Structure 1
Amino acid sequence: MKILSMSTATNNLSVALNDDAKIITEKNEFDQRNHSAHLDPLIAEILKENNLRLAEIDRFAVAIGPGSYTGLRIGVTTVKMFASILHKEVAGISTLQALAASCAEEGTLIVAGIDARNDNYFAGAYVNREDDWGPECVIPDGHYHIDTLLSAVAEYCADNNLENVIYVGSGFEKQKEAIKKINIPFNFGTEKQNIVHAGLIGKLAVDAQPDDPDQLLPNYLRRTQAEIDWHKKTGEAYKPDSNYVEEV
């Protein structure tokens, strides 16, 4: 199964071609912040270099969040369009699970996170199980203050006799003193591990349940400012399909 996968969730853009779990090629652009202009050319390069047409892709996969609101919409909209027009499968993969997938350690809690500023993180925690490929989520992806996140990490490690933690993603190094206080040995991810890789998204997509392209949505894990402004202005409850963007 040929899988074309991508991540536009962070400052770094990643696109990859997989043959089932095997990563054929992956292309990355680091800190370019212009994914809307660079995504399609990267896809075209990969297809050309591998003598493939877009119609020959069997499944599309994308990081659905958390991440940059604008970035997520670019990636999700692209795969929705491809899958819908070509009648192909699409799989949405957690950005945090893709980060955690860069760590192969067993018996270790993998805390994957994206700095959300002011000591807040989009984060979740994962473990690798023997004989399974793909990290299992054990602390749900969410929007956490660092104190809340570390409390959950300490509790999970105590309950499951884990004695090591690895923190991957962005912004954890500045929390080193707070992390030390929970008294669990830890490491930070390497530069390579701290980046979302489309090839790993493709590997996770092999066994993922396909999504309906028309129902695939970004998973922001936090209300957008437009939703908050709408709620303040109208006093109405949050609605998944409201027209607040047009009204605010």
Structure 2
Amino acid sequence: MTAITALTAQNSRGVFGVLQIEPSFVEQQMSVVLEDLGADVIKTGMLHDAAIVQAVARRIRSAEPRPKLVVDPVMVAKGGATLLKDAARDALVNELFPFADVVTPNAPEAAALTSIPVESVADLTKAGARILAMGARAAYMKGGHLPGDEVVDVIVRNDGPEIVLRGPRIETRSTHGTGCTLASALAASLAQGMDLEAAARRAREYVAKAIEGAPGLGSGHGPLDHGWPLKEARSG
């Protein structure tokens, strides 16, 4: 189930407008779903401003039992549009990170959140440790923005050793929503009872195949092929 935080006017070339939903209505959306269906995992995405962050955090804090929380700190769109206001950044760290089971920043987001320049895998790991110090239980640090033929992600956690995930870089323009998709697949896998490492590996594989099968729509950053598992099931 989804609670809408904002409506966007966008295409493959960028985000051209954002219409924010009233924070009280965001909280109401969450409440009616949680009271009826409950949730094993909540995943946050574009929260846009501090008032929405606070509304989401307030509802998560009051949930009984408290679901696991995956925080995708969506800050900048592929086309460069700002999706998180400056004041919301502090609210995200202060209000949501202490409840987060996993935070999933890419390299630019990690740098913005921690004030650590992220230009290497070692920097990713260092920034991940800083995010743990902010209260998160684990940080899935995405390395797709770093240079190289190989994409290296690092999971830093407070209850075990680092996990390093490697894979070949796929050269394509069809990368719209890769971070959102990874966080959603991670949350879905955690909700199905997987541990963090298994959930992360499954989410990463899902995204890689979704990129490989992308239909090539649009003249900018096109969408992924989210339906590839159904195609595999039908062909198998």
What TM-score range do you get, normalising by the shorter chain?
Answer: under 0.3
Structure with the bigger RCO (C-alpha within 8 Å, sep 6+) is: 1
**Which protein shows a greater Rg?**
1
| Structure holding more helix per residue | 2
TM-score normalised by length of structure 2: 0.28
TM-score normalised by length of structure 1: 0.27
